Amino acid sequence: MKKNKSNRFGPKKRKQRSTPLDVITTKGQKAKNSPQEWPTSEEGHRYVKAIARDLNLFRRTYRLKKVQKPPHSNPQNPLFKGLQLDDFQVQAVQYLDQGQDCLVAAHTGNGKTLIADYLVDKAMQEGRQVFYTAPIKALSNQKYRDYCSAYGEESVGLLTGDHQINRLASIIVMTTEIFRNMLIEKDVPPALSHVVFDEIHYLNDPERGAVWEECLILLPPQVRLLGLSATVPNIDEIAQWLSHVHNRPVPVVKYLHRHVPLEHFYYQKDIGLGTSSQMISFWNEMQEPPKDLAEQKLREKKMGRHGLIGMTSHRYLIACLASMELIPAIYFLFSRAGCEQAANDWRGYTFLSLQDQEKAETTLTQIEEKLGSALINSTTWTTMRDLLVRGIAFHHAGLPPIVKQAVEEAFGRAIVRVLYATETFAVGINYPVKTVCIDSTTKFDGKSFRVMTGTEYHQMAGRAGRRGMDDRAW
């Protein structure tokens, strides 16, 4: 009997289109549109690699604008830590050497922290005490580790909600709330000469801004301040207010250029990278009914039988970034559970070559030896370690502090290719990447969903761009 080939009993199954994930297969699966042999780890994880569709898609949409290069610094500027200071850094250092306060506004990656490091180094040489305040514990922990490496653990203290280490040290890193409490209780040591306020734009925060305001008002008259921020919009007004409060001038240093130009794009899996106007045009085009049968068939071939816009998963975007060698990347989500789920979606896949996997294993062993049994016995670490050996990780405030420290050290040692993180990772932590992805333009602020502010966007986007390594940031 001849088989009925009509659509009487439903439509025929349509052959699945090639996607950026076709080549990222697990053990036992055959990759499409890929070379005969794919490099795999001993566990059978497939290496994320480019395919022709990704490359053609991005070449078609890769449109870069010419950007103005930042002005060259004076070649006669002094060196600090082997780096030649930029003009704005020299200007800020001169104000500090003259015993003045200073507020510095410069884009992320331009070297604001180097000014604070100069101040700390000078205080150590002169036998004075410096406080370094930060808005979040992750930033405080990073600065504590950096200064311990530079000056030794006996010279550095850490005061946060999780740690109370060496309260009498010459350099004390702390959260801003801790410093506020010290001012209210009048527990400020007489040897204190300077306070560094990292991310001073938190003064504008509707919920926590009062903490910064109280610190700046209650600051003892003999103590000088250094305020750092990349996104403070009204730094001149803040300087005028501080001048009025303390009856002394507060100089402002601005540097509005980026050493690594930042490109802003949207991404949709069917059209690739594009501008906001291109995305709106594409959306409007798909909302209109097809003009004729030919257009309908073209749309079905491109978008599927029903001609609907498919959802763009984070895996499409990350796979395409890997295709274009635009990783390491940070993927920001406004959900702790979302970060963990997105990282686990890559189970069975790896972003590291066999050689890099060996390096990652060695690095993780060193981190475990350094942090001890508290890390190894953590239930979260087992899952995290399995991700890290494949170049993947997640980071949010709900992780145990010891696991967060391990992730930050692994990220700093360049074994993480894709990090899923909440917004807290964007605040001040000096871990730049090549590309930053933001999952949504809306976020939950504890009361309701709202559109993110320009300051929040620039804070996250500012993580992109590694000076001296990248020509552009994404």
Q: What superfamily would CATH give domain 266-461? A: P-loop containing nucleotide triphosphate hydrolases (3.40.50.300)
Query: How many angstroms separate the CA atoms of 192 and 290, rounded?
Result: 72
Position 6 pLDDT exceeds 90 = no
pLDDT at 218 over 70: yes
Cα separations (Å) of 60 from 32, 102, 271, 274, 402?
Answer: 22, 47, 9, 10, 45
94-98, 439-443, 461-465: the lowest-pLDDT one: 461-465
**46 or 267, greater pLDDT:** 267
* Structural contact between residues 216 and 170, judged by C-beta atoms closer than 8 angstroms: no
Measured CA to CA, the distance from residue 4 to residue 420 in angstroms comes to 50
Name the residue with tokens 């552009």: 472
Higher pLDDT, 316 or 392: 392
- Closest by CA position to 137, among listed 169, 165, 107, 105: 165
Pick the CATH number of 85-255 from 3.40.50.300, 3.90.1150.10, 3.40.50.2300, 2.60.120.430: 3.40.50.300
Mean of pLDDT over the chain:
79
Please enumerate in sequence order all residues whose Cβ is within 8 A of that of 4, keeping only pairs 6 or more positions apart, or say none.
none
Residue 244, phi-psi category: left (phi > 0), alpha (psi -120 to 50), beta (remainder): alpha
- Residue with more model confidence, 108 or 37: 108
Cβ contacts of 278 within 8 Å, gap of 6 or more: 266, 271
Lowest mean pLDDT among 133-137, 231-235, 428-432, 433-437: 428-432
Looking at residue 393, its pLDDT comes to 93
C-alpha distances (whole Å) from 286 to each of 18, 289, 465 are 21, 7, 35
Q: What is the structure's pLDDT at 69?
A: 66
| Exposed/middle/buried for residue 345 (C-beta within 10 Å: 0-12, 13-18, 19+) | middle
State how far the Cα of 170 lies from the Cα of 165, in Å rounded to an integer: 12
Asked whether the predicted pLDDT for residue 158 surpasses 70, the reply is: yes
pTM: 0.76
Instruction: Compare 405 and 34 and report the one with higher pLDDT.
Output: 405
pLDDT band at residue 3 using 50, 70 and 90 as cut-offs: very low
pLDDT band at 449 (very low <50, low <70, confident <90, very high): confident
Per-residue model confidence as pLDDT tens digits over 356-399: 889 999 999 999 999 888 898 888 999 999 999 999 999 988 88
Asked whether the beta carbons of 98 and 251 are under 8 A apart, the reply is no
**Domain chopping of the chain, boundaries:** 85-255, 266-461
Intrachain domains 85-255 and 266-461 with the same fold: yes
With a pLDDT cut of 70, the percent of the chain lying above it is 78
Flag the least confident range among 58-62, 64-68, 149-153, 428-432: 58-62
Of the candidates 190, 198, 233, 195, which has an alpha carbon nearest to the alpha carbon of residue 217? 195
pLDDT for 50 equals: 46
Give every CB contact of residue 372 below 8 A, 6+ residues apart in sequence: none
Reported as a single tens digit per residue, the pLDDT across 82-141 is 888 889 999 999 999 999 999 999 887 778 888 999 999 999 899 899 999 988 887 888
Report residue 199 as tokens: 């991310």
pLDDT at 24 over 50: no
